[in-house]
Amino acid sequence: MDRDHRSLVLPHGRVAVPAFLPDATYGTVRTVDSQDLEGAGVQAVEMNVFHLMQRPGSTVIRSLGGLHRAFSWERPILTDSGGFQAYSLIRQNPRRGSITDRGIVFRPEGTARKVILTPEKSIQLQMSYGGDVVVCLDDCTHADAPYETQQEAVRRTILWARRCRETFDALMANRAEDGPRPLILGVIQGGNERDLRRQCAEALLEIGFDGYGLGGWPLDSAGNLLTDIIGFIRELVPAEYPMHALGVGHPDHVLTCARMGYTTFDSSLPTRDARRGRLAIMKAEGDAQVPLGTDWWQYLYIQDERHRRDGRPLSESCDCHTCRHYSRAYLHHLFRVEDGLYDRLATIHNLRFMTRLMARIRAEGGPHGG
C-alpha cells in the first residue's frame, strides 16, 4: 500500500481501499461491459486462472496481449490462483483430480484431459496474463475439516507459497517495464484452528509478501460469517499490509471485515443476486441514509407484484445509471419477460450499491483512519 495505507498502487492504476472487486470469472462480469463497470465506480475486478486457463485458454489470452487487452478493461485486475476452484471441483467429486506437494491435477468438467496446476505454473500464468495483484496457489480446506487435514493443508500452503514467491521474484528480475510493479499475496490457511492459522501467517510473513489473503471458507454451514477467526487472522498480520478477503461479498460481511481491517473483497454474490431479482437498497430516514451498522440496508425483490406499477427508481438515493433512468415497474416488467436488459440494469445497480458502500466505509475511516 502507499504511505497513507489508503490505496494500492498497481500497474494499471490506484485502488482506494477498502474496495470491492466483482468476480469476472471468465473475463467478464456477466451481462455488463467495461463502461458499465466504470460507470458503477468499479475500481478493479477479480479474474480466475482456473477458469481462464480452460476458456479461452492461456494461448489465446497471451496472443491477445494479456487480460486487459483481451477483455478491454484498463483498470487493475486481481488474478486468483485457481486453488479454491480446483479444490471445490475435487471435493465435489474426488475422481476429478488429486492434490500432492507437486500441485493440483484435475480434469475439467466435460473433458477427459488432465490439467496440472503447480505453484510455479499458477504464478507464471497470472504474470503472463498481466495480473496487477497475483495470488499464491494454496491448499484450501473446509472450516469443518479435521485437524490433521488442516495441518497438512497449512504445511503444503507454506511449501507452495515459497515456490510461488521464488517464481514471482525470478519473473520480476527480468521485467522491463517501469512504474508500479504487480503485488503478490500469500494466502493464510488453517480452518478454524487458531494455532495453525498463526503458524501459517508467521511462515508467510517470514517469506514476505506484499499482502495476505484470508483463505478457506469464510462462512459456516449456516451461511454465517466466521467473525471470530476472521478477526483473529487479521490481527496476525501487521496493519500496514493489505489483506484480501476471498469470497466475501454479502454487504454485512463486507462491512464487518472492512472494519476489522480487511482491505479488498471479491465475490460473485452481488451480481448473482442481481440476476436472481435480489437488489440491495440502502435505507434512508428522511433525506439521510441510515448509518452503517445494523439494519442499514435491505433487499428489494423485483419480481414482487407490488412493483408492477411503481414508477419510482429502485433507490431514491442511488446515482447509478439504472436508478437515474428506469423505474421499478420497468425492471419488474423486464424481469417478468426475461429480457437480458434486466440482468444488465440490475447488475449495474447492485455493483453501484457495493462501490457506494465501500466509499462510505472509506469515509468512515477518515483521512488517516484504517
Q: Which residues are catalytic?
A: 80, 266
Q: With contact defined as beta carbons under 8 Å apart, do 262 and 343 qualify?
A: no
DSSP-H helix ranges across the chain: 34-39, 49-52, 58-63, 67-70, 83-92, 119-128, 147-173, 194-207, 227-236, 251-260, 269-275, 321-325, 328-336, 340-365
Distance of alpha carbon 19 from alpha carbon 4, whole angstroms: 15
Instruction: Examine residue 356 and tell whether it contacts Zn ion (CB under 5 A).
Output: no
* Residue in 255, 281, 320, 345 binding Zn ion, rule: CB under 5 A: 320
How is residue 234 written as a grid cell? 487479521
Distance of alpha carbon 248 from alpha carbon 66, whole angstroms: 27
Instruction: Examine residue 323 and tell whether it contacts Zn ion (CB under 5 A).
Output: yes
- Minimal distance in Å, beta carbon 106 to Zn ion? 39
Residue 104 vs 292, nearer CB to Zn ion: 292
Q: With contact defined as beta carbons under 8 Å apart, do 38 and 75 qualify?
A: yes
Instruction: Examine residue 345 and tell whether it contacts Zn ion (CB under 5 A).
Output: no
Instruction: Examine residue 318 and tell whether it contacts Zn ion (CB under 5 A).
Output: yes
Q: With contact defined as beta carbons under 8 Å apart, do 90 and 157 qualify?
A: no
- Minimal distance in Å, beta carbon 353 to Zn ion? 7
**Which residue has 479435521 as its cell numbers?**
146
Instruction: Examine residue 32 and tell whether it contacts Zn ion (CB under 5 A).
Output: no
Stretch that binds Zn ion, among 236-244, 296-304, 319-327, 362-370 (CB under 5 A): 319-327
Residue 332 vs 349, nearer CB to Zn ion: 349
Distance of alpha carbon 303 from alpha carbon 287, whole angstroms: 27
- Minimal distance in Å, beta carbon 346 to Zn ion? 9
Query: How many residues bind to Zn ion according to rule CB under 5 A?
Result: 5
Residue 75 vs 349, nearer CB to Zn ion: 349
Q: 96: which DSSP letter?
A: G
Q: 56: which DSSP letter?
A: I
CB within 8 A of 156, min separation 6: which ones? 99, 101, 139
Residue 262 vs 353, nearer CB to Zn ion: 353
Instruction: Examine residue 349 and tell whether it contacts Zn ion (CB under 5 A).
Output: yes
Residue 230 vs 346, nearer CB to Zn ion: 346
What is the DSSP track for 310-324?
Answer: --S-S-TT--SHHHH
Q: Is the peptide bond before 367 cis (omega within 30 degrees of 0)?
A: no
Stretch that binds Zn ion, among 1-9, 107-115, 159-167, 323-331 (CB under 5 A): 323-331
Residue 135 vs 320, nearer CB to Zn ion: 320
- Minimal distance in Å, beta carbon 73 to Zn ion? 22
How is residue 296 written as a grid cell? 442499514
Q: Is the dihedral of CA 27, 33, 39, 40 positive or negative?
A: negative
Stretch that binds Zn ion, among 81-89, 181-189, 196-204, 348-356 (CB under 5 A): 348-356
Site string for Zn ion, 275-314 (x = CB under 5 A): ----------------------------------------
Residue 135 vs 254, nearer CB to Zn ion: 254
- Minimal distance in Å, beta carbon 273 to Zn ion? 13
- Minimal distance in Å, beta carbon 314 to Zn ion? 5
Instruction: Examine residue 229 and tell whether it contacts Zn ion (CB under 5 A).
Output: no
Residues at the site binding Zn ion, with contacts judged by CB under 5 A: 318, 320, 322-323, 349
